[in-house]
Copies of this chain bind each other. A is one copy, B any other.
Amino acid sequence: MIITIGREFGSGGRELGKRLAEALGIAYFDKEIVAEVSKNTSLAYDYVQNIIEKRPIVYYPISIGHSFEDYNNYITKEYYSVHSEQDKVIKEIAAKSNCVIVGRCADYILRDLHPYRIFVYSDMESKIKRCKEKGEIDASLTEKKMIRAIKQIDRQRGEYYEFYTGARWGDKENYDLMINTSNASIKDIALGLAEVIKHANK
C-alpha cells in the first residue's frame, strides 16, 4: 500500500499524511527524503530542499557568452543529479515498505506501483489560519503579503509538477481522491479516509 499526497501550501497535507500513516500503521516520508538525498549527493540539506519541488531555472544571457553557458550547464547538471537521486530514494523507500509520501511528484515517480493518489486543497482563508497556527509563515507579514507568499509556493509546486510529469498539478484526472480541508478537522477526517483507501483495491 503506497499513498502519495499532493497538497497546496497551508492545506494541511502533511498533517493528513502523518495521520493516515498512523491510522494505517505504515511509514511516513517527507523531509526524510531531503535528508537522504542530501547525504547521497553530499549537497547541503537546505540547498537540496531549495531545488526540490521547483522546476529548473535557466538564466539566459543577454549576449551569448561562454561563461553563461557554462554556468547554465553546471546548474542544470546539479539540478538533474539532485532529482535523479530523489527518484532513486523514493523508489527505494516504496520498495521497502508500505508508506505515505508527501509531495515530490511521488505519484508520478511511483506510477508503476499504482499508488493511491490524494490531493489536498483548501480556500485561502483556511490556509492563512493554518499557516499562522503552525508557524509556517512569517506572522509579521501583512495578509496581502501572506497571500502572495502562499500563492507563489503553490505556483512553484505547480510548475515543478508540470515540468516533471507533463500533467497538470491539482487536475482531478491525476488523483484518486481530492479533499478540501477548509474548515475541516484533519484529525477527524483521517480515520474515514483511511477506510476509503483500505477498500480502494490499489
Closest to A182 in B: B176
Output the residue of A172, A184, A194, A198 with the most chain B CB within 10 A. Answer: A172
Tell me if B180 and A201 are in contact (CB < 8 A): no
Say which residue of B177, B184, B195 sits within 8 Å of A180 (CB atoms): B177
Pairwise interchain contact B201-A196, C-beta atoms closer than 8 A: no
Count the A residues whose beta carbon is within 8 Å of the partner chain — how many? 29
14 additional A-B pairs beyond A192-B193, A192-B195, beta carbons within 8 Å, are A121-B173, A172-B172, A172-B178, A175-B180, A176-B184, A179-B196, A185-B201, A188-B199, A188-B200, A188-B201, A192-B192, A192-B194, A192-B199, A196-B196
Interface contact B189-A180, CB-CB below 8 Å = no
User: Which residues of chain A have a CB within 8 Å of any CB of chain B?
Assistant: 119, 121, 123, 170, 172-173, 175-180, 182-185, 188-189, 191-201
Q: Which residues of B contact A170 (CB under 8 A)?
A: 172
